[in-house]
Structure 1
Protein backbone atom coordinates (compact mmCIF):
# COMPACT_ATOMS: atom_id res chain seq x y z
CA UNK A 1 0.00 0.00 0.00
CA UNK A 2 1.24 3.48 -0.79
CA UNK A 3 0.91 6.81 0.95
CA UNK A 4 -1.83 9.40 0.57
CA UNK A 5 -0.51 12.89 -0.11
CA UNK A 6 -2.53 15.96 0.89
CA UNK A 7 -2.18 19.44 -0.59
CA UNK A 8 -3.24 22.72 1.01
CA UNK A 9 -2.87 24.83 -2.13
CA UNK A 10 -2.02 28.51 -1.85
CA UNK A 11 -1.05 31.07 -4.45
CA UNK A 12 2.32 31.71 -2.73
CA UNK A 13 2.99 28.63 -0.60
CA UNK A 14 1.51 25.16 -0.49
CA UNK A 15 1.44 22.90 2.53
CA UNK A 16 1.91 19.17 2.08
CA UNK A 17 1.17 16.22 4.33
CA UNK A 18 1.42 12.46 3.88
CA UNK A 19 0.26 9.29 5.54
CA UNK A 20 2.42 6.41 6.54
CA UNK A 21 2.40 3.48 4.13
CA UNK A 22 -0.43 1.82 6.07
CA UNK A 23 -2.51 5.01 5.55
CA UNK A 24 -3.21 5.37 9.25
CA UNK A 25 -1.29 8.43 10.45
CA UNK A 26 -1.23 11.87 8.81
CA UNK A 27 1.99 13.85 9.21
CA UNK A 28 3.18 17.17 7.88
CA UNK A 29 5.66 16.77 5.03
CA UNK A 30 6.78 20.28 4.10
CA UNK A 31 5.74 23.59 2.62
CA UNK A 32 6.92 24.52 -0.85
CA UNK A 33 6.64 27.66 -2.90
CA UNK A 34 3.69 27.11 -5.21
CA UNK A 35 5.75 27.86 -8.32
CA UNK A 36 7.92 24.86 -7.36
CA UNK A 37 4.99 22.60 -6.42
CA UNK A 38 4.58 20.56 -9.60
CA UNK A 39 8.31 19.71 -9.96
CA UNK A 40 8.37 18.79 -6.25
CA UNK A 41 5.35 16.48 -6.64
CA UNK A 42 6.76 14.83 -9.75
CA UNK A 43 10.02 14.10 -7.94
CA UNK A 44 8.30 12.98 -4.73
CA UNK A 45 5.91 10.59 -6.49
CA UNK A 46 8.77 9.10 -8.49
CA UNK A 47 10.64 8.15 -5.30
CA UNK A 48 7.72 7.38 -2.94
CA UNK A 49 4.74 5.10 -3.43
CA UNK A 50 1.67 7.37 -3.50
CA UNK A 51 -1.78 5.82 -4.00
CA UNK A 52 -3.82 9.01 -3.93
CA UNK A 53 -3.53 12.79 -3.81
CA UNK A 54 -6.04 14.75 -1.75
CA UNK A 55 -6.45 18.45 -2.50
CA UNK A 56 -8.27 20.87 -0.23
CA UNK A 57 -11.56 22.24 -1.52
CA UNK A 58 -12.02 25.79 -0.24
CA UNK A 59 -15.66 26.76 0.26
CA UNK A 60 -17.46 29.78 1.61
CA UNK A 61 -19.87 29.44 4.52
CA UNK A 62 -22.78 29.29 2.04
CA UNK A 63 -21.13 26.24 0.40
CA UNK A 64 -20.05 28.11 -2.75
CA UNK A 65 -16.48 27.86 -4.02
CA UNK A 66 -14.02 30.40 -2.68
CA UNK A 67 -12.01 32.73 -4.91
CA UNK A 68 -8.92 30.52 -4.72
CA UNK A 69 -10.75 27.61 -6.37
CA UNK A 70 -10.01 29.15 -9.79
CA UNK A 71 -6.27 28.74 -9.14
CA UNK A 72 -6.71 25.26 -7.75
CA UNK A 73 -8.63 24.15 -10.85
CA UNK A 74 -5.77 25.34 -13.08
CA UNK A 75 -3.30 23.47 -10.89
CA UNK A 76 -5.42 20.29 -11.00
CA UNK A 77 -5.32 20.30 -14.80
CA UNK A 78 -1.51 20.51 -14.69
CA UNK A 79 -1.31 17.88 -11.95
CA UNK A 80 -3.43 15.30 -13.76
CA UNK A 81 -1.39 15.80 -16.94
CA UNK A 82 1.94 15.51 -15.11
CA UNK A 83 0.98 12.58 -12.84
CA UNK A 84 -1.99 10.86 -14.52
CA UNK A 85 -1.48 7.51 -12.76
CA UNK A 86 -2.42 8.86 -9.29
CA UNK A 87 -6.10 9.62 -8.62
CA UNK A 88 -7.04 12.94 -7.03
CA UNK A 89 -9.77 13.48 -4.44
CA UNK A 90 -11.02 16.74 -2.94
CA UNK A 91 -11.78 17.48 0.71
CA UNK A 92 -13.63 20.44 2.21
CA UNK A 93 -10.97 22.57 3.86
CA UNK A 94 -13.11 25.15 5.64
CA UNK A 95 -11.59 26.27 8.92
CA UNK A 96 -8.33 24.33 8.48
CA UNK A 97 -6.18 27.49 8.72
CA UNK A 98 -7.95 28.56 11.92
CA UNK A 99 -7.69 25.03 13.31
CA UNK A 100 -3.99 24.93 12.39
CA UNK A 101 -3.37 28.20 14.23
CA UNK A 102 -5.27 26.90 17.28
CA UNK A 103 -3.22 23.69 17.14
CA UNK A 104 -0.06 25.80 17.27
CA UNK A 105 -1.36 27.66 20.32
CA UNK A 106 -2.44 24.44 22.02
CA UNK A 107 0.96 22.85 21.42
CA UNK A 108 2.68 25.74 23.19
CA UNK A 109 4.41 27.42 20.26
CA UNK A 110 5.63 30.91 21.03
CA UNK A 111 4.03 33.90 19.31
CA UNK A 112 6.98 34.33 16.94
CA UNK A 113 6.74 30.68 15.85
CA UNK A 114 2.98 31.02 15.27
CA UNK A 115 3.66 33.76 12.69
CA UNK A 116 5.38 31.17 10.49
CA UNK A 117 2.82 30.93 7.68
CA UNK A 118 4.66 27.97 6.12
CA UNK A 119 4.07 25.98 9.30
CA UNK A 120 0.38 26.95 9.28
CA UNK A 121 0.13 25.68 5.67
CA UNK A 122 1.80 22.37 6.57
CA UNK A 123 -0.45 21.87 9.59
CA UNK A 124 -3.49 22.75 7.44
CA UNK A 125 -2.49 20.07 4.93
CA UNK A 126 -2.19 17.60 7.81
CA UNK A 127 -5.69 18.52 9.00
CA UNK A 128 -7.07 18.09 5.48
CA UNK A 129 -5.48 14.66 5.30
CA UNK A 130 -6.70 13.66 8.75
CA UNK A 131 -10.22 14.73 7.76
CA UNK A 132 -9.97 12.62 4.62
CA UNK A 133 -8.76 9.60 6.58
CA UNK A 134 -11.55 9.99 9.16
CA UNK A 135 -14.28 10.27 6.54
CA UNK A 136 -13.04 7.22 4.66
CA UNK A 137 -12.92 4.75 7.55
CA UNK A 138 -14.85 1.57 6.83
Structure 2
Protein backbone atom coordinates (compact mmCIF):
# COMPACT_ATOMS: atom_id res chain seq x y z
CA UNK A 1 0.00 0.00 0.00
CA UNK A 2 1.39 3.45 -0.83
CA UNK A 3 2.23 6.01 1.83
CA UNK A 4 0.54 9.31 2.64
CA UNK A 5 2.83 12.31 3.02
CA UNK A 6 2.05 15.43 5.09
CA UNK A 7 3.50 18.90 4.62
CA UNK A 8 3.62 21.64 7.24
CA UNK A 9 4.63 24.42 4.84
CA UNK A 10 6.26 27.59 6.09
CA UNK A 11 7.99 30.62 4.67
CA UNK A 12 11.47 29.38 5.62
CA UNK A 13 11.08 25.73 6.67
CA UNK A 14 8.78 22.86 5.86
CA UNK A 15 8.13 19.92 8.12
CA UNK A 16 7.42 16.61 6.43
CA UNK A 17 5.85 13.47 7.86
CA UNK A 18 4.92 10.18 6.24
CA UNK A 19 2.90 7.10 7.05
CA UNK A 20 4.19 3.57 7.14
CA UNK A 21 3.23 1.40 4.17
CA UNK A 22 0.12 0.14 6.00
CA UNK A 23 -1.01 3.76 6.62
CA UNK A 24 -1.33 3.14 10.35
CA UNK A 25 1.39 5.26 11.93
CA UNK A 26 2.58 8.77 11.07
CA UNK A 27 6.28 9.50 11.58
CA UNK A 28 8.32 12.63 11.16
CA UNK A 29 10.49 12.41 8.06
CA UNK A 30 12.47 15.64 8.03
CA UNK A 31 12.44 19.42 7.99
CA UNK A 32 13.87 21.14 4.94
CA UNK A 33 14.25 24.61 3.53
CA UNK A 34 10.96 25.52 1.82
CA UNK A 35 12.79 26.60 -1.33
CA UNK A 36 14.07 23.03 -1.80
CA UNK A 37 10.70 21.34 -1.26
CA UNK A 38 9.79 20.59 -4.90
CA UNK A 39 13.17 18.96 -5.71
CA UNK A 40 12.95 17.01 -2.43
CA UNK A 41 9.46 15.74 -3.31
CA UNK A 42 10.54 14.76 -6.84
CA UNK A 43 13.32 12.63 -5.40
CA UNK A 44 11.12 11.17 -2.66
CA UNK A 45 8.30 10.29 -5.07
CA UNK A 46 10.81 8.58 -7.37
CA UNK A 47 11.89 6.28 -4.51
CA UNK A 48 8.66 5.75 -2.56
CA UNK A 49 5.07 5.07 -3.56
CA UNK A 50 2.89 7.91 -2.29
CA UNK A 51 -0.88 7.79 -2.65
CA UNK A 52 -1.70 11.29 -1.49
CA UNK A 53 -0.20 14.45 -0.04
CA UNK A 54 -1.90 16.44 2.67
CA UNK A 55 -0.94 20.00 3.49
CA UNK A 56 -1.76 22.09 6.50
CA UNK A 57 -4.25 24.86 5.80
CA UNK A 58 -3.66 27.77 8.18
CA UNK A 59 -6.82 29.27 9.64
CA UNK A 60 -7.75 31.86 12.24
CA UNK A 61 -9.72 30.86 15.32
CA UNK A 62 -12.95 31.87 13.55
CA UNK A 63 -12.19 29.58 10.60
CA UNK A 64 -11.16 32.30 8.14
CA UNK A 65 -7.84 31.94 6.28
CA UNK A 66 -4.80 33.24 8.18
CA UNK A 67 -2.18 35.62 6.78
CA UNK A 68 0.01 32.74 5.61
CA UNK A 69 -2.82 31.17 3.58
CA UNK A 70 -1.74 33.04 0.41
CA UNK A 71 1.77 31.60 0.80
CA UNK A 72 0.31 28.08 1.02
CA UNK A 73 -1.95 28.68 -1.99
CA UNK A 74 1.04 29.77 -4.11
CA UNK A 75 2.86 26.57 -3.15
CA UNK A 76 -0.24 24.48 -3.95
CA UNK A 77 -0.38 25.95 -7.47
CA UNK A 78 3.30 25.11 -7.98
CA UNK A 79 2.81 21.62 -6.54
CA UNK A 80 -0.13 20.89 -8.86
CA UNK A 81 1.89 22.03 -11.90
CA UNK A 82 4.81 19.76 -10.97
CA UNK A 83 2.82 16.74 -9.79
CA UNK A 84 -0.29 16.74 -11.98
CA UNK A 85 -1.47 13.26 -10.98
CA UNK A 86 -0.74 13.44 -7.23
CA UNK A 87 -3.84 14.09 -5.11
CA UNK A 88 -3.40 16.96 -2.66
CA UNK A 89 -5.75 17.58 0.23
CA UNK A 90 -5.80 20.60 2.55
CA UNK A 91 -6.32 19.93 6.26
CA UNK A 92 -7.03 22.46 9.01
CA UNK A 93 -3.76 22.93 10.87
CA UNK A 94 -4.95 25.09 13.77
CA UNK A 95 -3.08 24.28 16.97
CA UNK A 96 -0.59 21.82 15.40
CA UNK A 97 2.45 23.97 16.23
CA UNK A 98 1.25 24.46 19.82
CA UNK A 99 0.55 20.73 20.10
CA UNK A 100 4.02 20.00 18.68
CA UNK A 101 5.65 22.23 21.29
CA UNK A 102 3.61 20.60 24.07
CA UNK A 103 4.63 17.19 22.75
CA UNK A 104 8.28 18.23 23.06
CA UNK A 105 7.70 19.29 26.68
CA UNK A 106 5.78 16.11 27.49
CA UNK A 107 8.52 13.94 26.03
CA UNK A 108 11.10 15.56 28.30
CA UNK A 109 13.12 17.54 25.79
CA UNK A 110 15.31 20.17 27.38
CA UNK A 111 14.66 23.87 26.76
CA UNK A 112 17.54 24.12 24.28
CA UNK A 113 16.13 21.21 22.23
CA UNK A 114 12.64 22.75 22.29
CA UNK A 115 14.03 25.87 20.59
CA UNK A 116 14.73 23.83 17.45
CA UNK A 117 12.05 25.28 15.15
CA UNK A 118 12.74 22.62 12.52
CA UNK A 119 11.84 19.91 15.00
CA UNK A 120 8.61 21.73 15.83
CA UNK A 121 7.71 21.83 12.11
CA UNK A 122 8.42 18.10 11.70
CA UNK A 123 6.35 17.21 14.77
CA UNK A 124 3.53 19.51 13.57
CA UNK A 125 3.47 17.65 10.22
CA UNK A 126 3.36 14.35 12.12
CA UNK A 127 0.43 15.53 14.26
CA UNK A 128 -1.36 16.75 11.14
CA UNK A 129 -0.90 13.36 9.49
CA UNK A 130 -1.87 11.33 12.56
CA UNK A 131 -5.04 13.43 12.93
CA UNK A 132 -5.82 12.78 9.25
CA UNK A 133 -5.34 9.03 9.72
CA UNK A 134 -7.68 8.99 12.73
CA UNK A 135 -10.28 11.03 10.84
CA UNK A 136 -10.03 8.68 7.83
CA UNK A 137 -10.77 5.65 9.99
Give structure 1 stretches of 5+ with no counterpart. Answer: none
- Indicate the residue corresponding to 1:37 in structure 2: 37
Give distance in 2, aligned partners of 1:3 and 1:25. Answer: 10
Residue of structure 2 equivalent to 1:78? 78
2:130 matched to which residue of 1?
A: 130
In structure 2, what is the equivalent of residue 89 of structure 1? Answer: 89
Structure-2-length-normalised TM-score: 0.99
Match of residue 59 from structure 1:
59
Runs of 4 or more, structure 1, over 2 Å off, are none
Query: 1:94-109, aligned counterparts within 5 Å?
Result: 94-109=94-109
CA deviation map 1:29-78 (0-9, x unaligned):
00000000111011111110000000001100010001111011010011
Q: CA deviation at 1:21?
A: 0.7
CA distance in 1, matches of 2:112, 2:50: 34
SS at match of 2:133: helix
Shift of 1:8: 0.2
What number of residue pairs does the alignment pair up?
137
Structure 2 CA distance, aligned partners of 1:131 and 1:91?
Answer: 9
Task: Tell me the alpha carbon deviations over residues 78-130 of structure 1, each in whole angstroms, 9 at most, x when there is no partner.
Answer: 10111112100111100000000000000000000000000000000000001
* Rounded Cα–Cα distance in structure 2 between residues aligned with 1:84 and 1:7: 17
**Structure 2: tracts of 5 or more residues without a match:** none
CA RMSD of aligned residues (A): 0.5
